[in-house]
Amino acid sequence: MLELNLADLESAKIGRESGLEVDAELKAWAPELDHYHRALLDRAQDPAAMLGWISVPEDTETARAVRRYAEGAAWAREVVVLGIGGSALPARGLYEALGLSQKTLHFLDHTDPLPVRRLLARLDPEKTLVLAVSKSGGTAETAALLLVFRRWLEEALGEDWRRHLAVVTDPEKGPLRAYARAEGIAAFDVPPEVGGRFSALTPVGTLPLALAGADVEALLMGARRANRRALETAAKSALMLFLLDRHRKKPVHVFMPYGRRLLGVGQWFAQLHAESLGKAKDQKGSRVHTGPTPLPALGPSDQHSLLQLFREGPFDKVVVFLRMKDPGEDLKLPAVPGLEAFDYLFEKTLFALQEAEAEGTRRALLEAGRPSFTLWIDRADEESLGELYQFLMWQTAFLGELYGVNAFDQPGVELAKVYTYALLGRKGYEEIRARLLEEA
């Protein structure tokens, strides 16, 4: 079960300049948080509010369909996921964190020709399944890679290419859905009321994960627990982050998991935070230009790089640690004659070292009066990660309420897409193209 340890935020420990009276603040804000919680649950009834992610963990029927498809695709050894932003980051974070090995997944969320060529040269089309994932069904990066992989499959397999391609997209709208219908290829839905970065537990995430061997039902079970505990956990951490920004001038939110496998979770956290909270307008339409800056870091690697800045640089950061209680598999360090200089490590484990590093960093920040707090998960398994993911979505939603912004749109991201389409001459974008060319 996810735990939140807020002790290192206490003013008594780190001083009044950066610290908070945690219990007093939680008490004072309890009615407000309760109100936001109820407001979010009420608004979730309206599909336009884009709060469908709250009920996604209840949808066990889709999870079963995903599992059946994955069982039928036992022939595939490798899966190429074409998608970007919310159609890649959450799933990749989970895949890496779970350390799955049933199939190798390749997430192509870029347009760099060299790695794409290298991958194509290495893959066996007979044993490759390609998933094109795009909620809108039209994002240029995903569309471009679909063109490449669709041609590659057909050249190698002839008419059998259809068995090697599946799409995850809006149930009705967009070119990807139309294409899947026209060609009769497998298609899964991204519910219209769930935004890209909040779609981790829809087939956007569950389909690739089920193919890689994940227990999707356990992911959803963990997420349902996060739903039940949203006020107890996510509301509190959101409040701390908000107060530290607004009242203690800490607008930089560092997210620092310990464990290489959790790197991708940090990258998704950055997307959730940045795309949801970086807004020019508040919920009433007034100009605000608000949003904390997320900064993903990784322990212990970044103890040897970013930590110096966190401890001694500007007093503008709060560090959120993410730690596991149990690594699952560990590795014992042998006693090696001749290497007694390192005897303090003999017979310990890699995880024990990692934990000592996390603890050392926490204390180094504490002594310097730098605020931090810790999220604990039991282990990096489906249930714990499902809970963590849903917790992070709730945290973002509460932050949206606290900052007074709509956390579920992304006008800046959409505008860059429009300009990309216009510059490439997509039909329907002629006027914008003419303006851009004139301004160039």
Smaller CB distance to ligand PA5: residue 84 or 98?
84
Q: Rule CB under 6 A: is residue 303 a binding residue for ligand PA5?
A: no
In the complex with ligand PA5, which residue's Cβ is closer, 129 or 133? 133
Q: Note whether 208 binds ligand PA5 by CB under 6 A.
A: no
**Binding-site residue total for ligand PA5 (CB under 6 A)?**
15
Under rule CB under 6 A, residue 205 binds ligand PA5: no
* Cβ proximity to ligand PA5, 141 vs 383, nearer residue: 141
139 lies in the binding site for ligand PA5 (CB under 6 A): yes
3-state secondary structure the chain: CCEEECHHHEHHHHCCCCCECHHHHHHHHHHHHHHHHHHHHHHCCCHHHCCHHHCHHHCHHHHHHHHHHHHHCCCCCEEEEECCHHHCHHHHHHHHHHCCCCCEEEEECCCCHHHHHHHHHHCCHHHEEEEEECCCCCCHHHHHHHHHHHHHHHHHHHHHHHHHEEEEECCCCCHHHHHHHHHCCEEEECCCCCCHHHCCCCHHHHHHHHHCCCCHHHHHHHHHHHHHCCCCCHHHHHHHHHHHHHHHCCCEEEEEEECHHHHHHHHHHHHHHHHHHCEEECCCCCEEEECCEEEECCECHHHHCCHHHHHHCCCCEEEEEEEECCCCCCCECCCCCCCHHHCCCCCCEHHHHHHHHHHHHHHHHHHCCCCEEEEEECCCCHHHHHHHHHHHHHHHHHHHHHHCCCCCCCHHHHHHHHHHHHHCCCCCCHHHHHHHHHHC
Q: Interface with ligand PA5 includes 87 (CB under 6 A)?
A: yes
- Determine the interface stretch with ligand PA5 among 81-89, 97-105, 181-189, 262-270 (rule: CB under 6 A): 81-89
**140 in contact with ligand PA5 (CB under 6 A):** no
Query: By C-beta, is 135 or 250 nearer to ligand PA5?
Result: 135
Provide the CA 271 distance to its chain's centre, in angstroms. 7
Which of 19, 52, 85, 400 binds ligand PA5 (CB under 6 A)? It is 85
Q: Is 86 in the site for ligand PA5 (CB under 6 A)?
A: yes
The reply to whether 135 sits near ligand PA5 by the rule CB under 6 A is yes
Q: In 3D, which of 97, 93, 157 has the Cα closest to residue 127? A: 157
Show the binding pattern over residues 19-58: x = contacts ligand PA5 (CB under 6 A), - = does not: ----------------------------------------
User: What x/- string results for residues 145 through 184 when contact with ligand PA5 is judged by CB under 6 A?
Assistant: ----------------------------------------
Q: How far is the CB of 138 from ligand PA5 (least distance, A)?
A: 7
Q: Please identify every residue annotated as catalytic.
A: 275, 304, 417
Residue whose beta carbon is closest to ligand PA5: 196
> Does 203 help bind ligand PA5 (rule: CB under 6 A)?
no
Report the site for ligand PA5 in 179-198 (rule: CB under 6 A): 195-197
Which positions from 369 through 428 interact with ligand PA5, judged by CB under 6 A? 410, 413
The one among 8, 96, 245, 275 contacting ligand PA5 by CB under 6 A: 275
Given the complex with ligand PA5, which of 62 and 134 has the nearer CB atom? 134
Residues near ligand PA5 (CB under 6 A) are 84-87, 134-136, 139, 142, 195-197, 275, 410, 413
